[in-house]
Amino acid sequence: MFKSVGAVVVILTVAFVLSACEPSSDCFQEDVFCAALVTDTQGIEDHGMNQDIWAGLEQSKAADIVDRVEYIESVDSRDYEKNIAYFGEQGFDVIVTVGAGMDDETLRAADLHPDSPQGTAPVFVGVDQYQSESRANLIPVTFPEDQMGFLAGALAVRLSETQIVGAVCETSGIDSMWRYCEGFRAGVAFVNELEEKNVSALVSYRDDGDREKLFLDETWGHDTAHGLIRRGADVIFAAGGVTGEGALRAAAEAGVKSIGTERDQKAALAGSGPSVVTSILGDASFEVQKILRLIKDGKVAVHQSGQIKYIPFDQTFPENLTREMDTLLLALMNGQIKTNVTLSKP
């Protein structure tokens, strides 16, 4: 599966944005291990999965796990299939794709290269993807949204002064959104029971919204968050792409604290996100490095349930808050604490 040292010059169109790479590497050579990333339309500097995975690939190269790494930024979702195919045609050993929007394209690419991971075909790694079918050469990597929401709910209780906190999520008909917000509700209930508190969790889903605005309804997210704030919520958790970002912007306007997910929302929102205390997200960099080691060693990796992390608090927050978060995060990861959230809406 490790393939070619030889001079290779790759000329790419404007839609193909590649990282700097050694032109002398040839991925068809058996002793050259090559890994590539096809981003979604958020691009490589999305402060989220794309950026985190690319960091993991670069760290893998620095650690001599991989000989060559490259990426293509997808300008349009219609580019996904050809961008994935490009790396397959170039002989890359591992092709990483990102997000649910590439579920189908990644599965089709795996079908076009059906050899097992021990063969000469590439191994596909679908990060944050839930394919309905399994393939020997496809490794889905998912992250426990219920645990991310749970951690956010527990933190919200710590931050609240009004004893009312809120969550704004995309439709509960999408399983990941259900897990995020029900996890939040469970995290609030956990701390309430543990410390005999009585913090109320107000949870709103965009269940009656326009399907054309799925993950894109910033106005709904903004207005819904303001509604929760008027009802007394002084901490807002938000999930669901641009819909969730609308809620975080509303929190900033109202001067209340907020908790993000899916990416580093404070960095992504820049001037619109000063109220974001932290974001809780999957540790994609760590998971990609782990999988690359397994593949290079000839081991078959199966579906991976990845670890989660949170963006460090700034210096205005006490150190004991970080310690509490770390303790809770570890307890969730090793199964000492269960969220008891169902995989999908009953």
pLDDT digits (tens, 9 = 90+) for 31-62: 999 999 999 999 999 999 999 999 999 999 99
What confidence category does residue 119 fall into, taking pLDDT thresholds of 50, 70 and 90?
low
| Phi, psi of 324, deg, nearest 5 | -65, -40
Q: Which tokens is 191 given? A: 């701390």
In degrees to the nearest 10, what's the CA dihedral of 135, 128, 216, 238? Answer: 150
Instruction: Indicate whether 6 pLDDT > 80.
Output: no
Question: Are the beta carbons of 202 and 227 closer than 8 angstroms?
Answer: no
**What residue has token string 């109220």?**
275
Sign of CA dihedral 27, 29, 34, 37: positive
> What proportion of the chain, given as a percentage, has pLDDT over 70?
91
Q: Distance (Å, rounded) from C-alpha 120 to C-alpha 294?
A: 16
| Chain centre to alpha carbon of residue 28 | 31
Average pLDDT, integer, range 164-168: 98
**Average pLDDT score, the chain:** 90
pLDDT band at 115, cuts 50/70/90?
Answer: low
Strands 308-310, 276-282: pairing is antiparallel
Q: What is the pTM of this model?
A: 0.88
> pLDDT tier at 302 (50, 70, 90 boundaries)?
confident
With beta carbons less than 8 A apart as the criterion, state whether 261 and 238 touch.
yes
Q: What is the DSSP letter of 170?
A: S
Topology of domain 145-281+312-333, per CATH? Rossmann fold (3.40.50)
Angle between helices 241-254 and 218-230 (to 10 degrees): 40
pLDDT tens for each residue of 245-284: 999 999 999 999 999 999 999 999 987 778 999 999 999 9
pLDDT, mean of residues 87-115: 92
CATH code: domain 34-143+284-305 is 3.40.50.2300
Taking 50 as the threshold, does the pLDDT of residue 19 lie above it?
A: no
In this structure, what are the phi and psi dihedrals at residue 91, rounded to the nearest 5 degrees? 80, 25
What pLDDT, on a 0 to 100 scale, did the predictor assign at position 120? 62
* More confident: 24 or 186: 186
Strand ordering across the sheet containing 68-72: 68-72, 34-38, 94-98, 123-127, 138-142, 304-305
d(CA 243, CA 232): 21
As annotated, the residues of the chain forming the CATH 3.40.50.2300 domain(s) are 34-143+284-305, 145-281+312-333
